[in-house]
Structures are given as C-alpha cells and as structure tokens.
Amino acid sequence: MSERLQPGDTAPAFTLPDADGNEVSLADHKGRKVIVYFYPAALTPGCTKQACDFTDNLDVLASAGYDVIGVSPDKPEKLAKFREKENLKVTLVGDPDTAVIEAYGAYGEKKNYGKTYVGVIRSTIVVDEEGKVERALYNVKATGHVAKVIKDLGV
C-alpha cells in the first residue's frame, strides 16, 4: 500500500511510455498545470467512460492551462488500441510495474462486487505549474468525475 498524496506535496517525477512508445515525463509539463489521472485498465467500461469524458473536455481544460495524462498499468500496445477504438485525445501512459501508480498513492486495497483485492485505485491528482500537488482525489467514480473536477477547478 502506498501513502496518499496531500496538497502541497511535491508530485513524484515520472517518465513513462505513451501509446506510441514515446517517453512522457511530468517534467515536460513544467509551467503548466497537469491533471494526472489513474485508472485500472484500458478498454473497460468505466475507464472508457472516464477517458472519453476527459477527451470531450480536453479543449476546455487546455484553454484553462491544464494538460491531462492518464496512467494505467497497461502496455503501450493496449493503450494504442484503446486510443484508436475510442478516438481518445488525452495522453495515455503505461506503468506496467505500477511504480508510479504506487508513488502517487493510487494503488492499494479495494472492493469490487463484495471481493477485496489489491489494484489501481481510480484517482485524480492535480499538479500545479511548480510540480506541487494542488488536489488529490482518491476512490473517484468514473461517471461524472470529469464534470466535478472542472467545476471544482472553476474552469
């Protein structure tokens, strides 16, 4: 289990492969705000809904100075299929060994259909221009979450 981040914490640095195998680093976004969201698996209903919601609102977020990066334990090949199938515009990166997911506190025990297991906890971390955590939201719902984030950020 990993420690959850709190506002004011320094966001853990990362460099992960995107759907095309290119490296994406948090440092590449310095000077802009970044919404880093963690989801369990590409090509699943809830994760698709969330990724489509972020894609649909990407222009609104970008014009307010926010970049969006989705992180899952998937390999680049699966992310590419996900992007193509759903016509996604958000940057998707894979963290197969879950080191970054754990560093952000988005990995741990969760319940699904009455069973308890360990996995990716659907989470959204908003990082400011200086690389500090502005908001840390854990156990978020896939449906309606993006609208709530936009409202909370005053975008």
Tell me the catalytic residues.
47
Q: Where are the alpha helices (DSSP H) in 57-110?
A: 58-63, 76-86, 99-103
| Beta strands per DSSP E along the chain | 15-17, 23-25, 33-38, 66-72, 91-94, 107-112, 115-120, 123-127, 133-138
Cα(32)–Cα(7) distance, rounded to whole angstroms? 17
- Contact between 98 and 90 under an 8 Å Cβ cutoff? The reply is no
The secondary structure element, H or E, covering residue 22 is none
The tokens 């948090």 sit on which residue? 26
Q: Which residues of 67-90 are buried (b: 16+ CB within 10 A; e: fewer)?
A: bbbbbbbbebebbbebbeebebbb
Residues in the chain: 155
